[in-house]
Amino acid sequence: MPREGAMRVAARVFATDKMFATMGKDRTFGQLRNVASLPGIVGNACLMPDGHEGYGFPIGGVAAFDPEQGGVVSPGGVGYDINCGVRLISTQLTSSEVRAKMRQLVDLLFKNVPSGVGSKGKLRVNERELDEALTRGIDWAIDSGYGTRQDKERTEEGGRMEGADPSAVTDKAKKRGLPQFGTVGAGNHFVEIQDVQEIMLPDVAEKFGVKKGNAVVMLHCGSRGFGHQVCDDSLRDMLAASRKYNIPLPDPELCCAPINSPEAEKYLKGMRCAVNYAFCNRHIMMHWVRETFDEVFGKGTSEQMPLVYDVCHNIAKFEEHTVDGQRKKVCVHRKGATRAFAAGRIEVPAIYRDIGQPVIIPGSMGTSSYLLVGKQGAMENTFGSSCHGAGRAMSRSRAVHTWKGNAIAGELASRGILVKSTESELLAEEAPGAYKDVDEVVLSVKAAGISDIVAKLLPMGVVKG
């Protein structure tokens, strides 16, 4: 989309014709153009193939801002569920071994990893411990007996974002976050047991530790009520900052502040706390998943369940990228988009640096999920970013009026997929038909050279909020 009107840069949509056609039915393209009009944006405003309307930024939006050109930080470019992300765990168990005990496994996961709206974890922390977790990320979790140092090496940012400051977070956010460590939550979050159905890049899959015919476990969750409150608290400050710094807003939901301003610095400190909260959340959940597999398949099973990788979806961070032929440090906003760094980037763990970063793309409980790998095209065109999932095709309220949860569970069971949730209505909200075609989404990023397909994963058992 060429520059027009108030746009400071062009906008680019990465999608096949089929996916592109689904995006013009709401405000998605208008929101993308609005993002392209923000101060200090460089390169292009980008939209991934799973893109759809969101708060301020479209879901699937990627934008980079240069501090030296008046670049801004916008909470709408990160979203409410800060560091919503995905973690993939491999196993040495065959899919047939796991299917044979699926009912027991799903029931125990449902019990051991709390889920649901407002769910409370079985881990009790006080405010001092919470502050430590917000500052140290999964270093705190590991020192508290959860997971291993190898897990840390296979987590984006090493599971700890520097610069987090709990004093930048309100008491209300901390109160919401205290009881929710180690919980799935509701919505599109899940614990899913999957079958590695197909391998497309055998050498890369071997390096990632994923084998055809084996079972893997995928976790999808974020910073829960804590991150939501951090975002909500920041919006009032950012609206005032937009007026203070005379920033013209095409939409109040794009409220923002200059990167080096006190308002932006405060938001980033709080956002990083929520990022670290989410890392701890997924890390603790993974620990309980491993314990569950030990209970079902015998002690020692968990020792053969390494983390493949943990990726963030909703985040803003400073990275070096080439912009107009020059190497620059820019603030990259990824909202419903995944980092997809290519081989050679120092941020990629040493074990993967010669092949590129794992990129994990969840489906929608009845469809395929995918393991991808970052490619050079992402570094050149999307600030090292790719899609993050299937992307919604309809609202949750419309989905509830279209499907019945019990019918969804029955239909999935007929296909050999066992699903358990706290409420049947949640299954209707997350019906596979409420999402875009994840196969086409993944084909889009492959065709664009942003990331390549390593493995196709099919659901066998799902624990939903």
Catalytic residue positions, numbered: 388
Classified as helix, coil or strand, 41 is strand
| Residues whose CB is less than 8 angstroms from the CB of residue 377 and which lie 6 or more positions away in sequence, other chains included | 448, 449, 450
Classified as helix, coil or strand, 254 is helix
Pairing assessment for the beta strands 59-65 and 41-52 based on DSSP bridges: antiparallel
Q: Write the single-letter amino acid at 16.
A: T
DSSP element (H, E) containing 461: strand 451-464
Tokens found for residue 396: 């949750």
For residues 22 and 295, what is the distance between their CA atoms, to the nearest angstrom? Answer: 44
Tokens found for residue 456: 């196709």
Evaluate whether 439 touches 200 at the Cβ level (below 8 Å). Answer: no
Strand ranges in 188-312 using DSSP code E only, listed in sequence order = 190-199, 214-221, 257-258, 307-312
61 strand-pairing partners: 47, 335
Evaluate whether 82 touches 230 at the Cβ level (below 8 Å). Answer: yes
Label residue 214 left, alpha or beta by phi (over 0 means left) and psi (-120 to 50 means alpha): beta
For residues 302 and 206, what is the distance between their CA atoms, to the nearest angstrom? Answer: 19
How many other CB atoms are found less than 10 A from the CB of residue 120? 14
193 strand-pairing partners: 217, 461
